[in-house]
Structure 1
Amino acid sequence: MATLERIRNKGGILVAVVIGLALFAFILGDFLKRNGGGNQANSIEVGEINGTTITYAEYQNEISQAEDFRKLQTGSSSLDENTQYQIRNQVWEQMVQEILMGEKFENAGIEVSTEEVLEMATGKNAHPAIRQMFSDPQTGVFNQAAVINFLRNRKNDRNANLYWEYIKKAIVNEKLNTKYANLYRKGFYTTQNMIESEANANLRTVDFDFVAVNYSSIPDSTIEVSNSEIKAYYNDHLEDYKQDAERTIEYISFAVNPSEEDKQLAEKWITDTKEEFSNPATDAGQFVTMNSDLPYEDKNLNAEDLRIAIKDFVVNGKVGDVYGPYLEDETYKLSRIVSIKEMPDSVRARHILIQEQNPATANAIADSLINLINKGSDFAELARKNSKDTGSAINGGDLNWFKEGMMVKPFNDACFNAKKGDVLKVETQFGVHIINIQNVGKTVTKYNVATLARDIKYSSKTYQQIYSEANKFAANNNTAEKFIEAIKTENQTPRFATLKANDRNVRGLENSRRLVQWAFEGEVNDMSPTIYEFGNQFVIAVITDAKEEGYQPVNEVATRIKSLIAKDKKAEIIMKKFADNTKTSQSLSSLAQKMESTVQSATNINFAAYQVTGAGFEPALIGLATNAEVNKISIPVKGNRGVYVVKVTSETVAEKADLEAAERTLTQSNEYKVRSLNNAIREEAEITDSRAKYF
């Protein structure tokens, strides 16, 4: 379908739209079609959200659809591991949000009707994602008839139908979430009293002196905290000590690196090959393509673009000269000068891109347009009407100035070997191009160099030798105790990693997901059941610690809790001392002396201030100062770092409250609450993620 082909050409835009909407704050998935989580008997579960099960089959089905869509977008027949990993995570997040928000939508009676979907697809205010796909590239006018035609015929084309289902899911989800967010937003009403209170709080600006006594002034050893107090605090603040499941492993790595013999073999190969590579009868580019570990880059380079290692040789050499062997980036190389040409440093061109299913048809159209150009037709006008490169068509096909290598090779070569005013026809992977050379830059000397490369790689002999060392170590140290002791006695370098169940890799180990899975399948002191191979490393590991999902045991957090309780007790002691000494102090200076502290000063502080010089981030101090009476020593207040007493020395009260600024502040605060709704819902949810067992 022609429309589908246009959509495919705009794939990058659509991917951005779909992924952007998929990650929208309240995404729920295909809510209109899905009913619950599928609690099927005897099915494998990969997760549970608020009691609703996500089965392996459901999860895998969603992944397959997402992968099919990505392949369609990119034109690829397969996806790399990184893309698959991203898709799995995106699908999981979508399914979690589908269940969480589905509950909210149902309770609130929110839905998107068929009429609303149709309006978003074909109405006057069509969704931007639809409008982008079905607008005329020349005029930007939305083509409603094209959408209707596409929807009528999509079921006859699997790919077109897949496009539509993904677009529909995204725009329906956005509509549902917008409705829910607006409903939630209406629950926040800013009254006039609230606005006036906020504005009046900022009317007063004060200068003040203050005395601070830090908690560190009281030694921890003087504060007693009982086990019962720690236990009580732990129970009262249990949610602060939630933890994810973790495993800690200790491992050693036997790296397989090229030996000195391997290096000598690589050097011998490049040396033995030099004679054939240097032979004038040898096609240097083809020889490199057939024999080199690095590809031949058929480019004409300015002198400043040549690699430093060969620059002097090339600039001072002649065609056919060979440099090397030389060692660069752990690779032995030979470089041969293929050509030296006088060429423009840049070109300005415009083009018309013809795209047709049949190349013969595209060439016929291009020939007819070239005939019109030769007869005097305006190139720019023909480009605007006929070019499929919508980015340049709007500018009459103008590509502006570009340097060599910026365009695909057939296009590039045609432009840099042409003269000003030439009209050319060139075929590339994008279609047939009609090119008009508008101008050429200054002529410079350019060099084409073919470099034959032989990487220094480890041989099978080296591989077997390192594997034998690893195997011997594993066989002799098959318990955790032996393993840890052998690391010391054999002068091995131990490495450590703390892992979460869904970690993709162990840092520093290539494609090591299997090691993560094993760590969560085993128990403390288990040795890895095999020698793992990750990249060029053989790895042997032991599980040294395991934490299960839930709450940290009280004994693990006792030290932290003791410190918090001690801080509160220190605050009580300091506040009592402040209160007692204030009664007998005639001034802030005498109070400071009795408290073994000093008087500090702060200026220009109002309720909206963020911190106080000399104290740092202390909201309690700011609140105390902005509400204290002038020339009167305040009561003590407990802060983050210590206890504070203030004396306001002067105040300035604005004549008029800034009600508009206060209203903006409150409105922004409410909007933040709306944007944070998704996180709040998720934090309250019970989510069990068991994917690590299967992926």
Structure 2
Amino acid sequence: MATLERIRSKGGVLVAVLIGLALLAFILTDLLSSGSSIFRRSQMMVAEIEGQSISIQEFQSRVSEMEEYAKLNSGQSSLDAEMINRLRDQAWNQMVNEILLNAKYEAVGISVSPAELLDMVTGPQAHPMIQQLFTNPQTGIFDKQQVIRFLKSKQYDPTANFYWNFVEDQLINERLYEKYSTLFQKGLYVTNQWINSEAKARSQSVDFNFVIKRLTSVPDDQVSVTEKEIKAYYNDHKETFKQTASRDIEYITFDVEPTDEDRENTRQTVLDMKKDFSSPDIDPVQFVKFNSDIPFNSNYFKPEALEPEIRDFVTSASEGDVYGPYFENNTYKLTRLVDVAQLPDSVRARHILLRNNPQNPDEAEQLADSLMNLLKNGADFAELARQYSEDPGSAINGGELGWFRQGQMVQPFNDACFFGKKGDIVKVETNFGWHIIHIIDKGRATTKYQLATLGREVTYSSKTYQDVYSRATRFAALNNTVEKFNQAIEEQNLTKKYGRNLQKNDRFVGNLESPRELVKWAFKADIGELSPIFEFGDQFVIAVLSNITEEGYMPLDAVRNRIERQLMNEKKKEILIKQFKEQKASQSSLEEIANALEGELHSATDVTFNTFQVTGAGTEPALVGLALYSPVNEISEPVAGNNGVYMVEVTNKKETEVDTELIKNQLKSSLFQKISYQLLPEIREKAEIIDNRSNFY
């Protein structure tokens, strides 16, 4: 303390200055470093939803979860690009919905208790998803004990635990939304006035005559619209002119396609392989597997199932003979006759499936041997299938598979059935496990042929690829402005293509293969800027950005013509309504009014509240409403519709009884459906959502 006082007294102003400078340096350093950190955080933000930031790491973690769940559900070890894109969209929608809805749930005090969740998975009215996952394959009935056993054991299996947590989240989110939407449904009421009005409208049908004077009958030069009126309309209806950010591009493609030289080289390659393929010393199946673009098909075919030229070949050839090369489906082929056999078209069989246990690889085969012995000693196949088979679809039917054709089953199973004898009971292993198969019956055998077809698809060579790339590079170098770009397209007779109204998260542009990078470029480029050369599949692409539309409201100039046309039509309607009223005052019949106005006179019958179109008028709700609410045998006042102005005279009204209780239920159902389909979109529409996914994907 004394030391501190000495410093204060002796250091005086100097110490104060030094301390001040040190503090300033500290503050600046912290500010700069935190500013850098803030900048990095903003760069890594994939979204901001109602003020809540979502980092790319958080979003990608959700996507990865969905990918793992999809793999577990499908049994696949990997997912294609299209599926991953769909899962990204699902993850996005899920995160947006959760953030928006969780705030709503919290505000009204909605939650799902552990007891409620347990009832959803083990209660008498278990959720359909749980019922589907835990149905007893033998009885087809939901098995509550299966769920309980799974819940007890899942903690020892990380995969099962992950799967269950994912399912549990879906169940909770679904129940929360169900409760929230029910609050809205309970707040809706169908009034008696509404029911009676609807009943009256539905109980009536009318026959009527009507006159139509179309808007096109008034020349455009008879009406005028001022700039002030256009601006006023624009300001009053500005919300209807909202637009999302989009881009328009123009582009050309340089397609990499095989040349005649490439085709001849492929034909020569196949021809060079014919000698080896024809050799009796080689295995044609293995030769095809190692050298062909076409996989080996082990099926046996009837002659009539083959192409005519191959049919003529196999019916006159000996085993080992080779036909070709011949050209088919952009592929040069050689076909060798491998085998000729007498086989049926279909077989009827039943089986017992015993799946392999990775922890005890011999267990399934040992059980299969035991069951084979039981069957040899007269055991009932159907009973053993119901008791032991792990194929739930057939086990419940005693292992019965019915009749099946060649190629419907995996190869070892297929061969055992089609090459075995009727009545045989055989044991065979497939990728599903061990099967005990009983061949119940076989169709009539006919002559069939097994073929090995070696094929080489005609593709472009590296030389062709380089030639096309050189053309694209030369075009880009010589035509680096919009004017030169368009002039070169015309001079070289190239086809210009268009990508219009591209959204920042779009993944498709015309028929281009995976053109995501082109869309991302379009949102960074300036109008008139030419793109680098993109390679998408077998195409090189050069594009120019032709238009930028920013998010917000369409500018007045962009919608001026539309507004002017709308205002002109409204003024034309006023002119026509005035003409109708003048003629009604001086004419005594609808026909006279039609003649005086040079309008069209039509008739309509059995028009009801639900009539969508009226012959002679088209889709005109105003005309239908006018007819239903006009007195019989009286000329109505004129009314403006979509296409013109109308006047009606009802000639007949019919009343039919309607079920008001049914109407009430239908109106309630319609209201509930609106909540189901519109509640979430409305919440999202009003939310502040910043979507930066296009910066990352």
Question: Is the structural similarity TM-score above 0.5?
Answer: yes
Q: Is the 8 A contact 1:243 1:550 kept in 2?
A: yes
C-alpha change, 1:131 and 1:658, in structure 2 (3 Å) is: closer
Corresponding residue of 2:615: 613
Query: How far apart are residue 387 of structure 1 and its match?
Result: 1.0
Of 552, 560, 563, 1:561 maps to 563
3-state DSSP of counterpart to 1:111: coil
Of 170-179 and 581-590, more deviation after overlay is shown by 170-179
Aligned to 1:515: 518
Aligned to 2:509, what secondary structure does the other structure show?
coil
CA contact (8 A) 1:138 1:385 kept: no
Equivalent-residue separation in structure 2 for 1:39 and 1:169 (angstroms): 33
1:571 match:
573
Corresponding residue of 1:95: 95
2:651 pairs, out of 649, 652, 664, with: 649
Query: What amino acid is the match of 1:612?
Result: V
SS of residue paired to 2:315: helix
Show the counterpart of 1:8.
none
Distance in 1 of aligned mates of 2:445 and 2:640: 76
| Residues 1:659 and 2:666 are matched in the alignment | no
Q: What's the CA shift for 1:229?
A: 1.6
Moved more, 565-574 or 104-113: 104-113
Letter in 1 for 2:311: K
State the alpha-carbon separation in 2 of the partners of residues 41 and 567 from structure 1: 53
Q: Secondary structure at the match of 2:300?
A: coil
Do the aligned partners of 1:154 and 1:161 also contact (CA within 8 Å) in 2? yes
Provide the C-alpha distance between the structure 2 equivalents of 1:360 and 1:75, rounded to a whole number of angstroms.
24
1:100-119 equivalent positions in 2, closer than 5 A: 100-119=100-119
Q: Deviations over 1:610-667 (max 9, x none)?
A: 221211211111111011011110001111111110001112223x443133223312
Partner AA of 2:59 in structure 1: Y
Say if 1:478 and 1:527, in contact at 8 Å, map to a contact too. Answer: yes
The 5 A counterparts of 1:150-189 are 150-189=150-189
Q: How far off its partner does 1:410 sit?
A: 0.8
Structure 1, residues 476-499: CA drift from partner, whole Å, max 9, x if none? 122223222222223222211122
Cα deviations by residue, 1:494-517 (Å, 9 ceiling, x for unpaired): 211122111113222112211111
Provide the C-alpha distance between the structure 1 equivalents of 2:330 and 2:240, rounded to a whole number of angstroms: 51
Q: What percent of counterpart residues are identical?
A: 48
State which drifts further: 134-143 or 374-383: 134-143
Question: Which piece of structure 1 moves more, 129-138 or 438-447?
Answer: 129-138
* Distance change (3 Å), C-alpha of 1:668 and 1:220: farther
Distance 1:304 1:576 in 2: 78
Q: AA paired with 1:172?
A: I
Q: Secondary structure at the match of 2:599?
A: coil
For residues 204 and 468 of structure 2, what CA distance do their matches in structure 1 show?
75
What's the CA shift for 1:309? 4.6
Letter in 1 for 2:369: D
Residue 213 of structure 1 aligns to a residue whose secondary structure is: strand
Which digits, 9 at most, give the CA deviation of each residue in 1:28-72, with x for residues without a partner?
xxxxxxxxxx99964622222333332212211111111222233
Shift of 1:231: 1.7
Give distance in 2, aligned partners of 1:678 and 1:181: 9
How far 1:594 sits from its partner (Å)? 1.2
Distance 1:657 1:125, change over 3 A: closer
Q: Which amino acid aligns with 2:507?
A: R
Partner residue in 2 for 1:409: 411
Gaps of 5+ in 1: 1-37
What are structure 2's unaligned runs of at least 5 residues?
A: 1-37
Partners of 2:120 and 2:667 in 1: how far apart? Answer: 33
Judged with a 3 Å threshold, the aligned counterparts in structure 2 of structure 1 residues 608 and 505 are, in CA distance, closer, same or farther, namely: closer
Equivalent position of 1:505 in the other structure:
508
The aligned counterpart of 1:345 is 345
- Relative to structure 1, the CA distance from residue 54 to residue 223 in structure 2 (aligned partners, 3 Å threshold; closer, same or farther) is farther
Moved more, 90-99 or 486-495: 486-495
**1:207-257 Cα shifts (integer Å, max 9, x gaps):** 111001111111223321122222221222222222221111111111111
Change (3 A) 1:290 1:638: same
Give aligned pairs, total: 656
In 2 relative to 1, CA 234–312 (structure 1 residues): closer, same or farther, beyond 3 Å?
A: farther
The answer as to whether partners of 1:607 and 1:623 remain within 8 angstroms in 2 is yes
- Does the 8 A contact of 1:39 with 1:52 survive in 2? no
Change (3 A) 1:237 1:123: same
1:250/1:430 Cα in 2 relative to 1: closer, same or farther (>3 Å)? same
SS at match of 2:523: helix
Q: Secondary structure at the match of 1:47?
A: strand
Matches within 5 A, 1:107-506: 107-357=107-357, 358-498=360-500, 499-506=502-509
CA shift, 1:191, in A, is 3.0
Compute the displacement of 1:688 (Å). 2.5
Deviation, 1:200, is 2.0
Structure with higher Rg: it is: 2
* Cα 1:296/1:214, change in 2 over 3 Å: same
Does residue 692 in structure 1 map to residue 689 in structure 2?
no
Moved more, 67-76 or 250-259: 67-76
The 2-side partners of 1:628 and 1:348 are apart by 72
Q: Is the 8 A contact 1:199 1:661 kept in 2?
A: no
Query: How many Å apart are 1:397 and its aligned residue?
Result: 0.9
Query: What is the CA deviation profile of residues 425-484 of structure 1, one whole-angstrom value per residue up to 9, with x for unaligned ones?
Result: 111111111111111011112111111112222111111111111111111122223222
TM-score after normalising by structure 1: 0.91
Letter in 2 for 1:356: N
Deviation string for 1:75-100 (max 9, x for gaps)? 44432211111110110011111122
Q: Name the SS for the 1:202 alignment partner.
A: helix
SS in 2 for 1:484: helix
Partner Cα distance (1:141, 1:662) in 2:
38
Deviation at 1:327, TM superposition (A): 1.0
Over aligned residues, Cα RMSD in angstroms? 1.9
> So what's the TM-score if we normalise by structure 2?
0.91
Deviation at 1:308, TM superposition (A): 4.4
- Seen in structure 2, the aligned counterparts of structure 1 residues 111 and 552 have a Cα distance that, compared at 3 Å, is same
Residue equivalent to 2:530 = 527
- Deviation at residue 400 of structure 1 after TM alignment: 0.6
- Show CA shifts across 1:346-369 (max 9, x none): 000011111131331000111111
Partners of 1:436 and 1:427 in 2: CA distance = 14
In structure 2, do the counterparts of structure 1 residues 68 and 40 end up closer, same or farther at CA, with 3 Å as the change threshold?
Answer: farther
Task: Measure, in 2, the Cα distance between the counterparts of 1:192 and 1:483.
Answer: 68
Letter in 2 for 1:674: I
Please tell me the residue identity of whatever aligns with 2:602.
Q
Q: Which shifted more, 69-78 or 683-692?
A: 69-78
Q: Is the 8 A contact 1:288 1:452 kept in 2?
A: yes
Specify whether residues 189 and 40 from structure 1 end up closer, same or farther in structure 2 by C-alpha distance, changes over 3 A only: farther
Q: Which moved more, 1:95-104 or 1:433-442?
A: 95-104
CA distance in 1, matches of 2:514, 2:632: 67
Residue 326 of structure 1, CA deviation: 0.8
Q: Counterpart of 2:14?
A: none
Aligned amino acid, residue 212 of structure 1: I
| Equivalent AA in structure 2 for residue 388 of structure 1 | E
Letter in 2 for 1:176: L
Query: What is the rounded CA distance, in whole Å, between the counterparts of 2:498 and 2:546 in structure 1?
Result: 9
Q: Tell me the distance in 1 between the aligned counterparts of 2:131 and 2:90.
A: 25
